[in-house]
Every structure is written in structure tokens, then in C-alpha cells.
Amino acid sequence: MKITSIEKQKKEGRYNIFLDGEFAFGLYKETIYEFGLRINDELDAKKSEEIRTRDEIGFAKRVAYRFLNYKQRSEKEVRKKLKEKKISEKTIDLVISSLKDLNYLNDESYAKLYLQSKILRKPEGKRVLKMKLAEKGIPKEVADKIITEQYTPETETQKAAELLKKYEKKVRAKTEQEKKQKCYRYLISKGFDFDTVNAVIKPVE
């Protein structure tokens, strides 16, 4: 089969490749340059498949790099982004593997940064943090390890006390018994365990 035409698409940087007068597939300009494709070049089925695969991999990498350039992401988040772009599972696996080799994708590092950010910006208990890391696709063993290392019982108690102090202002008009009940439920809802909550809420005299 012979390339009979290379026509620019409306989409920026994308071109239609015609073989023997018929549309065959679309390619990004980077792929065309990489393979040095020109009109009258001969392409067999194997070469065409190689070119199309390379084009998809290149596109997937650009999507992933842009996504990661904004902020660090988990593997699950990157996979989801690539799937949204209709990229094949095989190519996604290749790109994910490449990103890991380059250390652009590291779930343990991601979990550490995520945990530090949450503790500083909006303190929550270990139970909720583990749930949120699971939603991000972080393996349970990784989440448990990072939380154990980064979030000591002393720090969790301190953060619960800080959160309690802010919340008490919202319920200061309540009776002492009502105030305690509301504060208790609030801290439990934020993922703090019973021991931590009991340690920071003063008993009603």
C-alpha cells in the first residue's frame, strides 16, 4: 500500500493518512516526523500497525505528562485519565510502566504528600484518611505504612483538639451536654477513633 495523501485535520497537530486513495488512519505530526512519512512511501500492514501503536503511545505520554505537570497523581488517577481519552489498555500499561521507571508515578510518594496536605489543611482521623487513600487507588498496605509513619497517635490527638476548638465556636450556645454530644459526633464523623475523641473532649461536670 502506498501513501497517496497526508491531509491536515481540523484538530491541531493531527493528520489523515490515505493509502491507495482511501483514508487509513490519523496520526499526530510528531509520529509523521519520527517515521519520516511522505507521499508515495510504501507501507505494509505490519508497518502501519507499528506506526499507529507508536502514535497512540506518544499521545498517551503527552496526556499523562500534562496531567502530572499540574500536581502529583496516583496510578489510579492517571489510568482513569488515559481511559477517558479512549487509549487501549495495552498502551496504558506501557505508559504507566514507563512513568514508574522514571519515578514520575509513585503511589507511596503520592500518599505521603496527600497525607501531609490533608493533615495541614483539613485535619481528619486515620479512618477517613485510609478511606480517601483507597479511593485514590493507593494499596491498603501502602496506606497503612504511610499513615503509621506520618501520623502518630500524638499528632492525631493534637489535630483532633485543633478541630474541636474550631467546632466548639459553632455550638457554644448549646447546653454543656448538647455541646459534648455534638462535638463527639462531629469528631467521629471526621474519622477519629473513640479513644482519640475521649482524650480531647472534657467530661461534663
Which residue, 189, 185, 187, 166, is CA-closest to 177?
185
Q: What is the CATH number of the domain that holds 196?
A: 1.10.10
Q: 12 with 59: CB under 8 angstroms? A: no
3-state helix, strand, coil in the chain (%, to 5): 65, 10, 25
pLDDT at residue 205 greater than cutoff 50:
no
Range of the domain at 194: 156-205
* pLDDT tens track for 16-71: 999 999 999 999 999 999 999 999 999 999 999 999 999 999 999 999 999 999 88
Q: What is the CATH number of the domain that holds 45?
A: 1.10.10.10
- Mean pLDDT, the chain, rounded, equals 90
Whole-prediction pTM = 0.77
Q: 115 with 151: CB under 8 angstroms? A: yes
Which residues are registered as beta bridge partners of 2? 42
Q: 7 with 1: CB under 8 angstroms? A: no
Count the domains in the chain. Answer: 3
Looking at the structure, do residues 126 and 61 belong to the same domain, yes or no? Answer: no
Report residue 79's pLDDT band, with 50, 70 and 90 as the boundaries: very high
Looking at the structure, do residues 37 and 111 belong to the same domain, yes or no? Answer: no
* pLDDT tens track for 143-161: 999 999 888 889 899 989 9
